[in-house]
Structure formats: structure tokens, C-alpha cells
Amino acid sequence: MQSTASCHAMLMAAPASGQGKTMTTAALARAYHNRGLRVQTFKCGPDFIDGMILEVAIGKPVYNLDLGMCGEADAQRLLYDAAQHNDVILIEGVMGLYDGTPSCADIAERFGIPVALVINAKAMAQTFAAIAYGLYAYRPALQRAGVIANQVGSEGHANMIKAALPADVPWLGVMKHDTQLSLPERHLGLHLAQEIDDIDQRIEAAAQLLGQDTLLPPTVHFSAPAQQTIAPLLQGKTIAVAKDAAFCFTYQANLDLLQRLGANIQFFSPLHDTQLPAADAYWLPGGYPELHIDQLQHNHSMHDALHAAAQAGKPILAECGGMLALGETLNGQPVFGLLPGSAEIQPKLQGLGTQHASFATAGDDKASIGAHTFHYGRFETDLPVIAQGKGKYGAGEAVYRHQNITASFLHFYFPSNPTVAAQFFLP
């Protein structure tokens, strides 16, 4: 008989983006946390930024669930592990409930997780009930956790919505309209949690608005995953990872995987540090280098340290913003200059979606690794392409190689192929 782990669990979905899923999920997680419950939050899809908000709510790392990029086996392992060590699992959906292939509805149905709907009720009343009913009726197999009305104007407004709901659509609560709780946005989504000075106070205030007596989600039984053997390909290696306001798009699962491969992790700041930590390899993940060009181009000590590491033959992985910062110029301004090429941030989106990149050096069809791209940048270079991402609509992002540097707009999800991930950090 297959073993299982049980935990209260719920997936927070919505009709579309902009309904308030992130703040509502963070508020609910904080409310449960304030009651002394152990809470683990997840984010559907490949998003980094929403997870940072959720991390503030509970004070521990957030993981991604994505059947396309990460895979079903990875999701099963993460959920089973979380259920073993927590009282409540909350999963924030992505976009609308059924958006994307696969969607967050697919995750809910695959693992038997009840779905809660967060719906912006501003400027409507009974129609709220029709939207909720329609979302659930579209796929009857989904379990109905209930609805949370967001942006409600008054107690009377809430009562109208609640009274209109069908008997089989539970009422979970209400978030009243408060402009102080809204989260600022920019071209890649919400502002980073570290950029919002009062983010913790906003989450706490939202938790109080939602109420401390919110019912617990239903109990879900998660099956144990198949045993996964990870060869210690990076045993004894130290990998230094860039981590600051300019380089912050890092999946916690990637860091965990590097440690399971045997690596020791060190962090450094290309913005603020004057030297690199001693390491066998370096990783500059994505982020917002375009917002910090002045600091980057004037950190001459870091410039010299990165060049010295490259000249010493240290492997370097540069993803998206990391690649832009290692080019010769970014928006016409000089940056670190390790890669021959120039980058410009464009007014329109240049890349979006899940892709899989296959590396011929691994020798067979097991050389593919899951990844995601979401950027406004354009990188002009003559560098050789060693791999090409492939998405739903054909060819995707290029993966470049320059001496010991691997660079791409792709954000790789290491657990989807530990062997390929290890190769990024080996000579």
C-alpha cells in the first residue's frame, strides 16, 4: 500500500490576473500562521515575484508548482514533503483558473486539491455568484473550497454577494476595499517584496481584515513520490550565487538541488560587494540589472573580480538579467563586459513561456531541462548557440557559450534534470 501524508490544503485561484490572489493568499497564510499553525505556501507557474511576497507572510521559502516546467513528479515530491511537515498548504494560482496548458486547474485536479476563488467584487453584486458558479461548473471534477470576495465596499455589499451564492459554493470570507493594501507593479509584475518598505505591515493588516477565524481548508492526502536518486556530481564544490536587488530571480528548489548534488552555496552581491567569495563556479540569476546600471558600472572591483574568475576558467551561469549584466553594454551604458554583445530593454514583451532546452553534450534525449522565459530585453551578439529552447510554438530562446560562460534568457529549473544542471557548474 502506498504511503500518504495528510494536510489541510487549498489552491487560491481567480477568473483572471489582477483579482488580488497574491495579497489574499499572503493574508490567509499570515492569519493561519498567527494561529500557531505551520503553513507552507506554493506558487503555481514559474513566477518568482509573487513567491517573495508569500515568503514574507510565513517567513520561509516558497516553492513553485508547474506541470510544464517542473513536471508532475517534482510537484508530487514537493507536496508530499510539505504535507509531512506542515498543518496547512496554500497554493497561489497563476492568471485565471483555466489559463495556460497545463493550468493551475490541472494541478488541483491531479492532486485532489480543493479550489478557492478570489474574485474582485468591485462594481458588482449578484453577478459575483454567477462568475463563481461558472468557474466551478466549467470543470465539475474540481473540489469547491469556497469563495473570497475582494475589494468589497461595505458589510451590505458583502451580504448581497453572500446571499446570491448557490448552496454548494461555500463562503470563505471578505477582503474589504483598502487602497493601502494594494501592491505596486512594473513591467515584470509586482514590485519586489524588499522594495515595499511596509510589506509586512500590509500583509498583517490584510490578515486582520480577512479575519482570524477563517475556516481551515479540507484535508488532502498526498501520495508518496517515487524514490529519486541524485548522484553527488558537485560533491565538494562551492557555488557562489548573486543575490541582491538586481539579481534575485532564484528558485528555492534550484538551491536545494545544488545542495543535494553535494555543493556548498555562498551568496554575493554584484551591486555592493567589492570581491567575489572563493568558489568553484558562479551563478548570476535574473532580476533587474537595468534598474541598477549606475551601481553596476561603477563597481570596478566587482568588474575586475568577475573578469579574474572568468580568466581562471571558473564556470559561470548567467540567466536573463545575469546575461544582460555580463554583456558589454546595457541600454547604452557599459556593464561588466564578459560577454561580447549589447542589450537593450524594449517597450514590448520579447519573450514569455515555458520552454525545454536540449544539450547535445549530454548525448541523448535525457539532455532536456525545463525552463521559463519572461523578459523585455534584447541581446545582440555573435556568440555561438549551443542549445535552443523549444516551446509550444516552436523554437525559443538561444543558449550561448563563451569560453566558460553559459548564458541565456532562460531561467532553468534545475530539478527537472539534475545531470544537466550540474554541468552548468563543472569545467
DSSP letter at 364 equals S
Q: Does residue 41 sit in helix, strand or coil? A: strand
H helix intervals, 86-198? 104-111, 127-138, 155-164
Q: Please, what's the b/e burial string for 145-163 (b: 16 or more CB within 10 A of its CB; e: otherwise)?
A: bbbbbbbbeeeebbebbee
Is-catalytic flag, 104? no
Hey, is 386 helix, strand or coil?
strand
Q: Which amino acid is present at 334?
A: P
Q: How far is the C-alpha of 26 from the C-alpha of 183, rounded, in Å? A: 12
Cell 534525449 belongs to 365
Query: Which residues are CB-contacts of 156 (< 8 A; sequence separation ≥ 6)?
Result: none
**Distance from C-alpha of 8 to C-alpha of 143, rounded to nearest angstrom:** 13
Helix axes 72-85, 104-111, angle to 10 degrees: 60
| Rg of the Cα atoms in the chain | 22
- Candidates 7, 44, 104, 320; catalytic one: 320
Which of 222, 221, 13, 21 shows the shortest CA–CA distance to 115?
13
C-alpha cell belonging to residue 264: 556548498
- Which amino acid is located at 14 in the chain? A
Active site residues: 320
